Structure 1
Amino acid sequence: MTRWTQTDMEKRLVRYADLKGLRNAFIDARTPGSDRKENFTIIGPGVSENPAQVVHIPEPHGFNVGAARQPFGCTNSQHSHLTAETFVVHTGKWRFVFGADKDEGYLDVEPGDVATVPTHMFRGFEKRDEGTGFLYVVLGHDDPGKVVWAPSVFEMAEDYGLKLLKGGKLVDTTLGETVPEGAELEQPPSAEQLKELATPPMDELKKYAIKAADIEGDPNSPLAGAGVEEAGVIGDVDGQDGIKAGPIVSHWDHGFALRRLKLETGAVIPAHSRAEQEVIFVQSGTLEVSWADGAIIMGAGDTLSVPIGLAHGFRNPASADAIAFVVRGASAPAAPQFAAAQAAE
């Protein structure tokens, strides 16, 4: 059995204050309105087009975790993904805008809300209130592929000296970089490709978002107990842990399930292990994660990857509720194995 020391586990912890972002991760980096955004790659390779992007935890998890931080009025340009793109709103008020020309509908979200966007359609997002906001983002699969940009993005990028090579590498001509001999430039999607990236009706897209107030604890969760709730958020199929599919169910494959944990002051979840990857993001409050050889206190905005099979428990040591979103690396997560039950056997 692998022993996980305090040092080992701290390497799997990414604190909000330690995030290393990039302002020129994508081809739209100099487009007015998009030039102040920061892109973060927390787990996995992500979709950044700039090799300077810092990857905090490169270990494959079956999904990627990233983030965007933007000030008021800052826009993330219209793009499409090949795999699931799921947003947890940490801070700020945001608008997701749909269609290649931003004219096919929108959804407004705020802290604690969750929205997931279908593959093969154009979406962008903008920060709508004063101050800086932070979106936590989960992308499906180990290799989420490259971003497909709307035609207008290519036109604006050309005006500001940015070119995108086939394969997804960004070339910044204002820094003296040149297109390598023989290299091909990525081209805007054709009219035929644009038809394949059509936006679903808004009535459908609304089903893929949920307000924080509408996320309800599931009493069937094995983690539920005194002062503890686990709520399903995204579940394309029934979990093996007693939590049913939904409330968000997609027609495309996420490859992961998203849950929300809520612990009242002093509440405890006993030591247990998981059969799949488990990544914890603290939305608000304070969460202690403990295991046989140590403990970590997490605060709002912190991310922790828990090793498969490690017996670990949770406790809320603070006076406010602890709320955390948990990505489980399977569409139908297995039931947790509680250490006490295993010891009794």
Structure 2
Amino acid sequence: MMPEPRVWSREEMMTRVAIFDEQQGSFTGLQESHLPQCEKELINIIGFRPPTEEGVFSPVGSDSASASAIDIFEGFNLGFVRCRPGKGPLTHNHDTNETFIPVTGTWRCHWNEGDEELHIDVGPRDVVSFPPGVARRFTCLETPDGEETALLQFVVAGEFPKAEYTEASLRILEENPAPTPET
């Protein structure tokens, strides 16, 4: 059954508008955030309610998950990542679909690990859609001329999407622990 159409005020609609240049991203909030190869800015635009289960995390990390520009939960989540060449997340898995859409630059989308790892290089407006249960990661390969970073959009299905690191990624984290804050 379709919802009954109604008139929306400008004020109501503005709660669902995010002007990109006004958004604040986060470089922290994931277990991998301290690793130089994982340096990236995550910008949460829609959703990404943090999961509450032990051992899983929000795809945008704890910091960005609590700062959604459009605070709605309607079955999908949308964000952007900005990073320099050679940077990207560790290999991870999601309980839902995750789709990557480069906005600028060239990106390598990897899936599987070890001898089974495969990848495809994609550019602006290309789309790579990973189903649940496929280990994945991305790496920024190239930025536009004169730019330090490239921009990738991602869409993740679900209300409380979850991510978990693969065993190989967990080993990297164990071998490279985050520095402890000085007390």
* Alignment pair present for 1:142 and 2:159: yes
Letter in 2 for 1:41: N
Counterpart Cα distance in 2 of 1:103 and 1:24: 30
* Alignment pair present for 1:152 and 2:168: yes
Structure 1 residues 102, 38: closer, same or farther in 2, change over 3 A?
farther
Deviation at 1:148, TM superposition (A): 1.6
Q: Which moved more, 1:83-92 or 1:95-104?
A: 95-104
Counterpart Cα distance in 2 of 1:96 and 1:133: 14
The 3-state SS of whatever aligns with 1:106 is strand
Larger of the two Rg values belongs to structure: 1
Q: Of the two structures, which has the highest relative contact order with CA contacts closer than 8 Å and spacing of 6 or more?
A: 2
Letter in 2 for 1:80: N
Deviation at 1:95, TM superposition (A): 0.3
Q: Which residue of 1 aligns with 2:137?
A: 124
Pairing partner for 1:174 from 158, 168, 180:
180
Letter in 2 for 1:152: A
Deviation at 1:159, TM superposition (A): 4.4
Pairwise mapping of residues 255-266 of structure 1 onto structure 2 (< 5 A)? none
Q: Which residue of 1 aligns with 2:42?
A: 39
Which ranges of structure 1 fall in alignment gaps of 5 or more residues? 163-172, 178-345
* Alignment pair present for 1:133 and 2:150: yes
Give the alignment's Cα RMSD to 1 decimal.
Answer: 2.2
TM-score by structure 2 length? 0.79
Aligned residues between the structures: 165
Letter in 2 for 1:4: W
TM-score by structure 1 length? 0.44
User: Alpha-carbon deviations, 1:79-104, whole Å to 9, x = none?
Assistant: 11110101121111000112233852
Structure 1 residues 8, 176: closer, same or farther in 2, change over 3 A?
farther
* Residue pair 2:109, 2:128 contacting (<8 A) in 1 also: no
**Percent pairwise identity:** 26
User: Alpha-carbon deviations, 1:15-44, whole Å to 9, x = none?
Assistant: 11012211113111122311x201122111
Q: Which residue of 2 aligns with 1:275?
A: none
Counterpart Cα distance in 2 of 1:106 and 1:12: 35
The 3-state SS of whatever aligns with 1:55 is coil
Structure 1 residues 103, 20: closer, same or farther in 2, change over 3 A?
farther
